[in-house]
Amino acid sequence: MVRALHSARFERVHIMGWRPIIKSRRDWEDVVPHLHDYADVRAAFSWEKAFKELDGLPGGRGLNIAHEAVDRHADGLRRDHLALRWIGKTGETQDFTYARLRELTNRFANVLQQLGVGTGNRVYALTGRIPALYVTALGTLKHRGVFCPLFSAFGPEPLRARLAIGEAGVLVTTEALYQRKVAGIRDALPHLRHVLLIGDNHRPSHVPGTLDFHLAMEQASDRYTIGPTAQEDPALLHFTSGTTGTPKGAIHVHQAVVAHHTTGKLALDLHKADVFWCTADPGWITGTSYGIIAPLTNGVTSLVVEEEFDAERWYRILQDERVTVWYSAPTAIRMMMKGGVAPVHKYNLSALRFLASVGEPLNPEAVVWSLDAFGRPFHDNWWQTETGGIMIANFAAMDIQPGSMGRPLPGIEAAIVRNTEEGSVEVITDPDMQGELALRPGWPSMFRGYWNEPERYRKCFVDGWYLTGDLAKRDKDGYYWFVGRADDVIKTSGHLVGPFEVESVLMEHQAVAEAGVIGKPDPIALELVKAFVSLKDGVEPSEALRRELLGHARSRLGAVVAPKEIAFLPSLPFLPSLPKTRSGKIMRRLLKARELGLPEGDTSTLEN
């Protein structure tokens, strides 16, 4: 039995006992999607052709992300077009045309020049969504430095680790964040020569050992010529987490801009008249690839909203700014769902044309809900820090199977693979079989290394495939379905958290003998960080100690990374209380199975 429910552009087809399909009715109103026919566009696509849509530096001096994002528009017909509209926490707005953005980013490139910061030097930013962040990122790229954003909810320890690993030479941050999180670790950062502070409440900053950001900008010239930039010159450093060891700094090069631009166009369907809003935090890669670069290379107006999530405020912004393309994430969408559709319907959201989501599995119900709430479904897409840009997507002109991540972008070859006993991988061609999601290397925004860790990088590639660490299935129509992670990393509110980083901080505490950290399923955040702790001999578990450990972790790691729950494990004489393999690795999988009351699976390597 088939039941159809109509919205203006989409038809929801229910087949009894089967998940609904959201069919695109292909009446394009006034904007025809760039990727109007998947098979045709994919067949005709090549990265060489995509590259030709960019300008390159004048005089054939190479390819620079900031030139493509800012200067080529500032030199052309879009010079007076609004590039960024910033909406501050108090509702104040600041507008930046492409011409103004060129002037400001030139100034910041000159600031770096005057400080003697060499090309390739790492310039870090630790700020919320404020205009200085965008100027810092693009000015650094102009100066051919390597831009590295940090997440402002991190505590001092994750910040120290990331600043130290990437040998940060420059840090741009706010006076408040510096005093709270950086001043205490500065001595441990010998490479950090320059700290530029943005004063609170627009006041100049006078902290010893730092410079005032705005004063330095005022004193710098607004003219700057970008030097020759090779496509393979490093441009961006983005930290991500693995199961073990320190955070990994994924390196991206200037050539990545070809993928940022193309995916902005094909997967987010950006057209020149669009008002685009990416809600990602600037500390994560989405905040750079799609919060800064892709919208600007595509010449649209990009909205920057300083304040964090608030459903009603978001609907008002969508209405008042007449947002046309909106890129958000499942945690926020689930929070909106909690409020129901009625609050959404109070607003006139007729400008909205395309909604996309990334970062974690998007529940099928959320896709269907968004059709009811906004008259348009959220289009899920998939990528990761290492891929630099969107790899698999539900495109504007495509029928959506809610729960699926969509199909690979033109120029991207994906496969489901399994490991063989000989240590190679084998492509699984049968549909609906679970395996590891793999990509054929060679797209422009593929990471070119983990900072100073060639071995860790090498291990990501087997038999000519990049192994993503995600488990997935491909159906007979070529749609990909996310199954889970192949490793122990945790996704909490869209943020990837490495359990090892959390365990290490817990073990700093004098009462803790060992710690094992897992992601515990959560209806809103997807997973919550939960720690299992065994105490040193003679230390008794208590509620006061639990609170102390939670506080300790929070002050060292910051709110996002710190565990929300801590459980004490019974201490057994002569036996480790955490389940471990014979080689001494914590079996987090087992901790998780026990927490959830699930079968323990293969425990043949278990020591105790």
Instruction: Catalog residues that contact ligand PRX under the rule CB under 6 A.
Output: 240, 284-286, 358-361, 380-385, 405, 468-470, 482, 485, 491, 496
Min CB(158)–ligand PRX separation in Å: 14
As a whole number of angstroms, the distance between CA 25 and CA 295 comes to 26
- Reported residue count of the chain is 608
As a whole number of angstroms, the distance between CA 368 and CA 346 comes to 19
DSSP state of 570: P
Q: Which residues contact 342 (CB under 8 A, 6 or more apart)?
A: none
> Which lies closer to ligand PRX via its Cβ, residue 274 or residue 436?
436
DSSP string, 462-520: ETTEEEEEEEEEE-TTS-EEEEEESSS-EEETTEEE-HHHHHHHHHTSTTEEEEEEEEE
As a whole number of angstroms, the distance between CA 221 and CA 66 comes to 17
Min CB(538)–ligand PRX separation in Å: 40
Q: Give the distance from CA 278 to its chain's centroid.
A: 11
What are the backbone angles phi and psi of residue 260, rounded to the nearest 5°? -55, -45
As a whole number of angstroms, the distance between CA 368 and CA 164 comes to 45
- How are strands ordered across the β-sheet holding 93-97? 93-97, 82-87, 301-305, 275-278, 325-328, 354-358, 378-382, 392-393, 407-408
Helix, strand and coil in the chain, % to nearest 5: 30, 25, 40
DSSP state of 604: T
DSSP state of 578: S
Min CB(595)–ligand PRX separation in Å: 20
> Which lies closer to ligand PRX via its Cβ, residue 262 or residue 286?
286
As a whole number of angstroms, the distance between CA 497 and CA 517 comes to 10
Q: Is 15 exposed, middle or buried (0-12, 13-18, 19+ CB in 10 A)?
A: exposed
> Which lies closer to ligand PRX via its Cβ, residue 117 or residue 393?
393
> Which lies closer to ligand PRX via its Cβ, residue 106 or residue 445?
445
Min CB(125)–ligand PRX separation in Å: 17
Min CB(405)–ligand PRX separation in Å: 5
The owner of tokens 């992601």 is 519
Min CB(285)–ligand PRX separation in Å: 5
Min CB(330)–ligand PRX separation in Å: 8
Min CB(384)–ligand PRX separation in Å: 3
> Which lies closer to ligand PRX via its Cβ, residue 96 or residue 284?
284
Name the 3-class secondary structure at 417. Answer: strand
> Which lies closer to ligand PRX via its Cβ, residue 281 or residue 503?
281
> Which lies closer to ligand PRX via its Cβ, residue 361 or residue 377?
361
Q: Is 13 exposed, middle or buried (0-12, 13-18, 19+ CB in 10 A)?
A: middle
Min CB(361)–ligand PRX separation in Å: 4
> Which lies closer to ligand PRX via its Cβ, residue 382 or residue 466?
382
Min CB(196)–ligand PRX separation in Å: 27
> Which lies closer to ligand PRX via its Cβ, residue 111 or residue 414?
414
Min CB(480)–ligand PRX separation in Å: 9
The four Cα atoms 392, 394, 397, 400 give a dihedral, to 10 degrees, of 140
Min CB(209)–ligand PRX separation in Å: 33
> Which lies closer to ligand PRX via its Cβ, residue 487 or residue 595?
487
> Which lies closer to ligand PRX via its Cβ, residue 57 or residue 257?
257
Residues paired with residue 437 on neighbouring β-strands, in sequence order: 416
The four Cα atoms 390, 146, 142, 58 give a dihedral, to 10 degrees, of -70
As a whole number of angstroms, the distance between CA 252 and CA 387 comes to 9
Min CB(367)–ligand PRX separation in Å: 11
- Tell me how crowded residue 202 is: count the other CB atoms within 10 A of its CB: 7
> Which lies closer to ligand PRX via its Cβ, residue 204 or residue 245?
245
> Which lies closer to ligand PRX via its Cβ, residue 479 or residue 568?
479
